[in-house]
Structure 1
Amino acid sequence: MNMNKMSKKEFGLAILNGNASGIIIALIPAALISQLLVIMPQTEIVKTLNMMVMLSQSALPLIAAFAVGILLRFGTIESASMALATFIASGVVTTQHGQFVISGSGVILNIMLTTLMASLVTIFFHKILGQLRAVFEPLAVLVVGGGLGLVTLPIMVSIQNSIGRVVQAATTTAPLVMGILLGALFAILIVSPLSSVGIATAIGLAGVGAGAANAGIVTTSLVLAIMGMKENSWGLFIAHFMGSPKIQMANMLSKPKLFIPVLIASAISGGIASLLKMAGTPFSAGFGMSGLIGPITALNESSGSQIGMRVIITFFVIPIVLALLMKYIFVNKLHLVDTKDLKLPEI
């Protein structure tokens, strides 16, 4: 483990990028096939597949922490010790009737905070334990790093719930204003440490509000993918919208100017989705295009005539047009955004 040559900025980016990678790896399997599994005959194979993708989501804290450890150039013992501490403090494990129950993907904000604290704890114990670290480091990082994470967990839950209440307030406004606000708000959430799915689920965001939120996420995905397409591989280009735009979290937080085209486009998209009366569920509201969850749910939940055409316009035509327009204005004309600002590490 060599931290001597790593700057504070590099350390912070490693925390952000590691968590973003973990989110993609853990959540994409369910995002891609969960809708398909619901409509398939519930055979043993389908049930097994469903179990596999659901449990993969609960592995998010383990994967995220290990990815952070790799980016910080930690060894196997250090990375695995961090993974244990983060898993314990993630909120994935709860106690019910005296038994431990594993469910959900945890509180992403606390997962990120715990990986940060566990990283610092790991560095500290690595220095003082010396040759004994193989024996004592896993326990030390688990108890101290995981313990600190358990202390911050209820605080992070409160913060996430507070954000949820803000979103709920937006749903009580006029439909057009609501659509604009939710489109922009969920564009921020999807590239932040907060869980857009968790917040949408916590507040029960459904109906037209969910459709507007989902349209904002879809547009965010395409704006970031198309503006940065020169710098990233085709796999990463597709990962923006079939995966999650949260992979750009580190770039967004370190270069706030990237929020300008994203917010403009997502607000417009959310307003249009509201006018076209696109509906959704709490689950679809926070997922965007991943696994085509947004469009498929809108197709099933929305009412009125020409639903198929409205879905195509909302989730494909408008986001693509807006993304190309944002690239033309902010990259080609104003030069406010450099394509290198959206460069992603290969994963």
Structure 2
Amino acid sequence: MALSIADYLLQLPENMHFVKVPELSGDGSFHYRMLSDYGSGSFQLIRFGTGLLVVLIADYTPKENFEKVSVISEEYMEISQFETESSSFKIGGRKIQPVERGIYCYINSRKTTYVYCEKGKAVRFTKVILTRKYFDTYFREHYGKDYEQSKPAQEYLLKNPNLPELNFVFQQIRDCKAEGATLHLYLESKVLELLSLIIRGMEKKEESISVKLDHKDIRGLKRTVACMKKDLAAYPSGEKLAQTAGMSTARYRLAFRKYYGTTPYEYLKEMRLNQALLMLKNSDYGISVVALKLGYRNSGHFAKLFRNAYGIGPREYRKVQGIK
């Protein structure tokens, strides 16, 4: 039976073998732990008002493979940050796609959605779920009569899944220790910050680049991004990337800027900085080692790039995380 997004999410923890922890729940914030027979970990759901906005924070490891099938009757937008790559999904009759680390955006179109999780592998994500009403109200207040639909926002996020500012806001949402009304106020302010970052990115004036792109060109560009992502410490030459895309070097540079709105090096830098957040938070590597693993031999240069992106240095960020 098709459900509203709020109803579906309230039933989700139990369907995933989680049990509510009463002493940690209250005031629209619900904490759950996974039943030991099915795995380990936690799941948090923060609901705002009548459910027009919901934040999910999960960190669990299932003991068995499982599949979750859903059909939601209500239109909504989901913006997520995944810190793991142990899940996959498909929508309707499409092919199964792996979930990669970084930002992911999905607009529900009332199609059946299948989500798969692998046994023994950690699943860690933070999700912001906005109903069509919430999303449209915000964008109409900004654009007025010029606002038409949320598709441009989705396209922007799909092209910029590692934008440092977006990833940093998600980390702030995940790490928030506030409770009650303060928690709700803080999280909604962060959601509004996410939306403002999307608008700022969408409003960047598109350069007048005469090159025309077809589906083959776009597939080639995506191959080069996959190549960069495979080894973030590498410095692939423009010639090699162009060859991977099946283009001349000059056309590749123009095509990349046309499609992604930035240069290949800037895009690689964003992927590195996004990974830096996770490595500094989830590993014991020293700052210089993190820098080297991300392709920066000079840790001072890495620290400068990190501070420029996030407004805080890598050492200070670790202190905020409670890591020495």
Same fold (TM over 0.5): no
**TM-score scaled to structure 1, two decimals?**
0.29
Which structure features the higher share of helix residues?
A: 1
TM-score (norm 2): 0.31
Structure holding more strand per residue: 2
Which structure has more relative contact order (CA 8 Å, sep 6+)? It is 1
